Structure 1
Amino acid sequence: MEKVIITGADGFVGSYTVQHFLNEGCEVLALDMGDAPRRLKPEGKLSYKKCDVSDIAKMKEIIPAGIYDTFVHFAWAGSSGEARIDHKLQMQNALNTVECMKVAKELGCSRFVCAGSIMEYEVEAAIHSQGSHPGMGYIYGMGKHIAHCMCKAIAANIGIDLLWPMITNAYGVGEYSPRFVNTTLRKIINGEPLQFTAATQNYDFVYVTDVAQAFYKVAKNGKPFCEYMIGSGNAKPLKEFILEMVGSCGPDSKPLFGDVPFTGTNMPLSTFAIDDIKNDCGYEPEVSFGEGTKMTMDWLHTI
């Protein structure tokens, strides 16, 4: 693996992943929608091109064929906030993913690595339960799962290796979207009430540099047509994470458990296992939750 295309490259996880690939000596073509990158810094082996992945014709026009060996796909509109429940947007994301994989094949890439989500497992559990009434919050995960299913069949048909790393819950310095860790730390800073579900559901969080490491190692060492869970290796009930975060970052704050109804699906701890990615790819998480939340809190105080 020497020359890599990365979409969504100027986003939170994408930008860290670009940097990790560069640090490993790869040449990277970074694609994103901005006229110029906001997060990425100029480097000798980095080139940046403005590209909307929904414009497949434009993508083919701006990327020369026969140069790149690996295509890493992060670009996904509406990964946080209210857009997660926009079914048309999430379906379009799935279709865009399939088309990007087909372009990767046409460009001569031998491997297509796409960012999946642990929510795909939650979707399966919720949908295939008799009498279940899944909430709209599952729409994002459904989009990811649809993309996964279609890509696997089409990849086998067109002859490109598909690898599907599945992120549990990424967090870290540079995260602006309203995901759980970011939102909770901001509430601590602002002195807002910390209201949660009973938080007995199993959970895991993984620091963004570990996510970037995982994508590199899956792209390099992963087995074709396999999925790999990216986590900390220390999954546990959400309440334990919350108490650790509040204890280290907001000891004067009092978390209120049970104030918010839980409408999701509690997954068994085995769902979060990272044995496959460790054994096949050589992944080892390096940043503990305590260290990661402390770094994130320190950064939030500066913005």
Structure 2
Amino acid sequence: MTNSLTAGFLSIFFWFLNSVAIAQSVNIPLTDGSNGSPLVIEADEGLEWIPKEGKYIARGNARASRGTVNLRADELIAHYRDTKDGSGQEMVRLDAKGRVKIISNNKGEKDRKAKTTVTGDVAVYHVKQSVFVLRGKRLKLVSPQGTLTAKDSLEYWDKNQIAVARGNAVVSQGKQRLHADILTAYISEPQVEGTRKKGAQRVSRVDAFGNVHVSVPNAIIRGDKGEYYPDKSVATLSGNVKITSNKNQLNGDVARVNLKTGIYRLVGKRVKGLITPGRTR
């Protein structure tokens, strides 16, 4: 979860469908016309054009690439419509089906290569809403900063620069993990120190909602909601906080946890502990 969490998963959302390799080429701009970069689609079994249904289908190890970003699936379907002024066509939705994988090779800190991979069974990009949704049994995002998994869906909302993992969502860094029903990641582009240029995209904060808990060596911390800061590897849980270590339990308002060191601290106005004799943390 890093500069790449967005750069890959994610650059797809700005693409034009200006050229299609294989049997023919096609010009299908996005409805918002935000970017004129070409998206090249290839497939082992060829490209099918169905004018009456307004779609192009690429089958058999289908690949879509643009710059350092590659989208792979068994099948890719681009849905389009004629523009209102009759000047051409515009893409309204892009579907990816079967063994979906998005790979991004970008530069991370100190210009080192930073690879991010996102996988799922199916994916849909809704152009008007600027949202990409992945579903399936193997939902996972792996990046240099950590791993994000979910049971129900992985979403990226381009206009709001937000990524959402739904259903038994987990963000992990090393051996430490933050669990929740929903995890929402906020993406930013920090300014490069000493310049006016913006740096690579990265996740600045992750909000956790519902059944939130953090696992660290010898303890589990639970709460109603939480915040996680990837750069610092620090999570803050609040609301009915409970810390369980062996048979010992601490209750309080807020817990601060360092996921790298495993050190945690319980704070707030109401702190209560139940310590079982003969047991240690």
Q: Provide TM-score, normalisation by structure 1.
A: 0.26
Q: Provide TM-score, normalisation by structure 2.
A: 0.28
Higher helix share: 1
Greater gyration radius = 2
